Structure 1
Amino acid sequence: MVESKGGADGSDRDLSAGAPASRGRPGGALVLIGGHEDKEGAREILREVVRRAGARPIVVATLASEVAGELWVEYERVFRALGAGDVRHLDIVQRDQAREARWLEILEGAGCVFFTGGDQLKITSKLGGSRLADAICAVYRRGGTVAGTSAGASVMSETMLVGGAGEESAKVRGAVRMAPGLGLVRDLLVDQHFAQRGRLGRLLGAVAHDPRLLGVGVDEDTAAVIEPDRRLRALGTGAVYVVDGRSISHTNIGEEEEDRVLSLFDVRLHVLSAGDSFDLETGRPGCGQPR
């Protein structure tokens, strides 16, 4: 993994990933989609995925889904309609298949790996620590794009959210569950279907548990695009929410009363619309115009 030199404010935040420090920053981009991206209209987000892949293959990874075949048919159709000439299917059912050479061959020359939605634990349990996971990281390091929608977005970070109550106030002993992700980006938590499922409370609770983690919530039909220079840009019809807990001055997260509502002082919240950006090194947002 790439080791960051820290933010401009002296923090130890490390938000890059993919290779040892001696190899430098990853050359590719991450596209974190909040789910339910448009597949029939302007298809802005999926069009961006195809643009970034260029003439290189797009590999659709359906590892998270119970209906992998249906998702493969759908995404192959959309990507080809948007101009992709080579679309491949990565479909591992059991972890031992990650050792098979045929799956490594599918990734050769790939311009993008696209993770569909489903259950992010299915992705990490099949890929974690495997040569195939290393090969996906290598696509990212050498300038390719790794994209994911819904669970496929949450799995990108080193620590991922896998559960917790939405649509209600966070509790000090709330059931926020986290687990190791693929580690393509460090010190970041990604939550999806954000406004649609009322998940601000659970993202605040997750950041309160570990304020070194930057919380990123992504609405449906919206993407947070992380560029090689570690600038995050919002794309799509909704918003991207950034919860920065480094300045927290007080929280009651350590109290024993299970039903006590979470108390959290001096947390910073940034809301980005299409074209706006957030510098992951300096912690500063920037205004922009949609592309």
Structure 2
Amino acid sequence: MFQKILCIILFCTSFTYAQEHLIVIGGGKRPADALNKLIELSGKEQGEILIIPWASGEQEVGFESIKKDISALSPIKVVSAPFAPLTAESKIVLLNQLKTAKGVFFTGGDQVRIMKVLEDETIFKAMHERYHHNVVFSGTSAGTAIMSEKMITGNGKLDVIDGTQVETKKGLGLLPNVIVDQHFIKRQRENRLMGLILQYPTLLGIGIDENTAVYVQNNKSAEVLGESQVLIFDAEQSKEAMKLYFLKKGDKFDLVKKKKIKI
């Protein structure tokens, strides 16, 4: 009996301890409150943030840019993942980096470049394993787009509301049951996200504007950080209509119950 009770206690403690943290930025300026949250969850001065610059056409420049922003806020250690394409040797380096990093950040650029590397199932599964064990994941622009299971590539027609005209591919999928879009208000991307949500009404559409971020805890609650707005589309109740939520800094949303959280 004692052993059974002990096992239950240990299981509950382990379950409580395992947290999932995701910070997705809509592009543009990286909001200081979003980066400070990343730094905090990555262990502050004792932590380490791994920058993954694969989306960028100039990977070293992409790394140095985000490192500069983070270093202006904290002395936390910031390291770069090996540049893509990976070799057998650099893949081993990356997997070892993932074991020690407390935070992982994907830079902007082309999300398809990131997913090309993540076609490697070992790396793909390692990312998920770390995310499910208290490592905070973050990204901006292309680094945000990959967080959906169904990832918008950027190709397709933007002058119609028709999800069949928007190209999607497999994403990293840390944020299930959601399609996320970035640069949303600035680049007037409402058509493509509304079209996709009408096509896949069981999914929520989250459009994040530039200079703005969404902090997601345990894939359940979302909080807006930064300067602009986040739009959330929900068409689950009807294929001919959808709910639209406008969220600003400090607003929170329940991703499970699909409603704003009253503060």
Q: What's the TM-score bracket when you normalise by the shorter of the two chains?
A: 0.7 to 0.9
Check the 8 A contact 1:58/1:113 in 2, yes or no: yes
- Please, which of 80, 93, 103 is the counterpart of residue 71 of structure 2? 80
2:53 aligned with 1:62, yes or no?
A: yes
Matched residue, 2:34: 45
Matched residue, 1:34: 26
After the TM superposition, which residues 121-270 of structure 1 pair with which residues of structure 2 at under 5 Å, given as runs?
121-163=112-154, 164-166=156-158, 168-171=159-162, 175-228=165-218, 230-249=220-239, 265-270=240-245
2:251 aligned with 1:286, yes or no?
A: no
Going from structure 1 to structure 2, the CA distance change for 1:50 and 1:204 (only over 3 Å counts) comes to same
Check the 8 A contact 1:95/1:125 in 2, yes or no: no
The 3-state SS of whatever aligns with 1:30 is strand
Deviations 1:43-82 (A, max 9, x none): 2222221122123210000011101111111212221221
Shift of 1:216: 0.6
Check the 8 A contact 1:50/1:84 in 2, yes or no: no
Deviations 1:77-122 (A, max 9, x none): 2212211421110133125558731111112221110000011111
The root-mean-square deviation of aligned C-alpha atoms, in Å, is: 2.1
Shift of 1:248: 1.5
Shift of 1:185: 1.8
Shift of 1:172: 7.1
How many residues align? The count is 246
Shift of 1:180: 0.6
CA distance in 2, matches of 1:140, 1:172: 30
CA distance in 2, matches of 1:207, 1:126: 27
Matched residue, 2:250: 275
Check the 8 A contact 2:231/2:247 in 1, yes or no: yes
Check the 8 A contact 2:149/2:175 in 1, yes or no: yes
TM-score normalized by structure 1? 0.78
Shift of 1:171: 4.3
CA distance in 1, matches of 2:209, 2:51: 22
CA distance in 1, matches of 2:163, 2:107: 32
The 3-state SS of whatever aligns with 1:197 is coil
Matched residue, 1:115: 106
Deviations 1:195-231 (A, max 9, x none): 0010111100011121112111000011111112610
Going from structure 1 to structure 2, the CA distance change for 1:81 and 1:99 (only over 3 Å counts) comes to closer
Check the 8 A contact 1:191/1:217 in 2, yes or no: yes
Check the 8 A contact 1:64/1:121 in 2, yes or no: yes
TM-score normalized by structure 2? 0.86
Check the 8 A contact 2:25/2:182 in 1, yes or no: yes
Check the 8 A contact 1:68/1:91 in 2, yes or no: no
Unaligned residue ranges in structure 1 (runs of 5+): 1-22, 250-264
Check the 8 A contact 1:113/1:136 in 2, yes or no: no
Going from structure 1 to structure 2, the CA distance change for 1:172 and 1:156 (only over 3 Å counts) comes to closer
2:19 partner amino acid? G
